[in-house]
Amino acid sequence: MAKKKKGNGEGTVYKTKSGYRGQIVVGTDDDGKPIRRSVTGKTVKEINEKLITIKNSIITGTYIAPNKITVCEMARLMTEDDKNLNYIKEATYYRHIETIKRLEKSSYLKNTPIQDLSYAPIKNFILSEAVMSQSLINKVYTMLQKTLKEAVKRKIIAENPIAELKKPKTSQNREKVRALTVEEEIKLYKILITEDVNYSHQMLLSMLTGMRMGEINALTVDDIDLRFKTITVSKTMARGLKGEPFVSKSAKTENGNRLVPISSTVYPLINEILLSSRDHYLFKINGKLINTSQVNLQFQRVILKHNIVDKKIKGKVSLHSLRHTFATRCIEAGMQPKVLQHILGHSDIKITLNTYCDAFENFQNENIAKTDEYFATMGIDFATSKKSRESFELI
């Protein structure tokens, strides 16, 4: 009995050693033979979801044959699949689309089928990006590598042409963001509580709790618990494709979901914010949500107008400096790194230690000095001993 010929959009699923594989007929070649596309996954449900996505693209006419697809088109399809399958958050989806737009600025990457790509032109494109920030370079490089690895996995190409290409480092002289000094913080604090400054509540809240500005702008009345004196951080303000602010229904990272304590210092500020709020969201202007860029622009105006920053001190002062300032004051006050890690929402203690290594080192030196003073009160002071003085005289 002849085997039934599959038409476009008919799929099959079967078990493999590592999970499941699905196949679907997406067209026919010049000889009339079926062209099949394969997908892999850990569960039957995952495979079926991927096959449905391909079926829908065939029905709507948006499907691109593997022998014609470009790296930009494939990156978009992968990103759309990840979004539809709930593998990535909405904010991450928009960031990926922005990265793909960056790739599409290269006519070579935008128009050349994946099978015709070669090492040198891709390398030249990535090297041309070295004038940009390291963060942007990382996104572009990662997107290209991920897409080409997937092309190999799907057997569109035999090997990744840039598998051995190293990620370039930015040519920009990146200045490290620093915390405000005690004097700078006091000066800014007085300005924010006495002058009529837009977004002053958000700036103060960041400086006194260490919360990210995106987390602050996404706060609602329900996130404040005055009884238990906590702020629930479970979402963040993100940016859409046109730059418009929207609330992402999850924190920046998994560890970003946390309870931030309302200290005695912060309690009056929280009360003032609640009394001045006229909406479910604590912070809006003219009925609209506020993004981080708006607050940052105002912050830069304030520090410039009031000459807040001591220019003799190295380091960049930005809106993120307020978070660094809070963390630095906590370290100076003797807070344990693990406690600070939880308050800041870091996923790993190494992030906390590496980010604030200078502050921890200064705190360590101050405590060593105090230990020396304590030893001196005990009479342990080699510098004043007779034997020690004789040794120094010989030197």
Pairing of β 34-41 and β 236-239: unpaired
Return contacts of 96-99, CB within 8 angstroms, 24+ apart: 96/143, 97/241, 98/241, 99/139, 99/140, 99/143
| Per-residue model confidence (pLDDT) at position 268 | 93
What is the amino acid identity at position 329? R
Alpha-carbon distance of 223 to 234, in angstroms, equals 9
pTM exceeds 0.95 for this model? no
Residue 8 has pLDDT above 50, yes or no: no
| Per-residue model confidence (pLDDT) at position 330 | 87
**Measured at the alpha carbon of residue 137, what is the angle toward residues 132 and 140, in degrees to the nearest 5?**
125
**Measured at the alpha carbon of residue 117, what is the angle toward residues 115 and 118, in degrees to the nearest 5?**
130
Alpha-carbon distance of 9 to 16, in angstroms, equals 22
The residue with greater pLDDT, 276 or 299, is: 299
Per-residue pLDDT of 315-327, as tens digits, reads 999 999 999 999 8
The residue with greater pLDDT, 165 or 172, is: 165
Give 392's pLDDT tier (boundaries 50, 70, 90): very low
Mean pLDDT of 67-94: 87
The domain defined by 64-172 folds into DNA polymerase; domain 1 (1.10.150)
- Which range (116-125, 196-205, 325-334) has the least confidence? 325-334
| Per-residue model confidence (pLDDT) at position 305 | 96
Residue 212 has pLDDT above 50, yes or no: yes
CA distances from 253 to 81, 128, 221, 258, 276 (A): 21, 31, 22, 10, 30
Residue 263 has pLDDT above 50, yes or no: yes
Give 168's pLDDT tier (boundaries 50, 70, 90): very high
Mean pLDDT of 264-285: 92
Within 13 Å of residue 134, how many CA atoms lie on the same side as its CB? 8
User: 247: phi > 0 → left, psi -120 to 50 → alpha, else beta; which?
Assistant: beta
The residue with greater pLDDT, 341 or 6, is: 341
Alpha-carbon distance of 110 to 69, in angstroms, equals 10
Residue 258 has pLDDT above 50, yes or no: yes
- Tell me the average pLDDT of the chain: 84
How does DSSP classify residue 169?
A: P
The domain defined by 182-355 folds into hpI Integrase; Chain A (1.10.443)
Kindly list the domain boundaries of the chain, sorted by start residue: 6-48, 64-172, 182-355
Alpha-carbon distance of 49 to 148, in angstroms, equals 22
Mean pLDDT of 187-198: 95
Do 277 and 290 form a contact (C-beta atoms < 8 A)? no
Do 47 and 39 form a contact (C-beta atoms < 8 A)? yes
Give 383's pLDDT tier (boundaries 50, 70, 90): low
| Per-residue model confidence (pLDDT) at position 306 | 96
Alpha-carbon distance of 254 to 345, in angstroms, equals 9
**Other C-beta atoms lying within 10 Å of the C-beta of residue 374:** 10
Residue 5 has pLDDT above 80, yes or no: no
Mean pLDDT of 55-65: 64
Mean pLDDT of 133-161: 92
Per-residue pLDDT of 330-374, as tens digits, reads 888 888 888 888 888 887 777 777 777 776 676 666 656 666 666
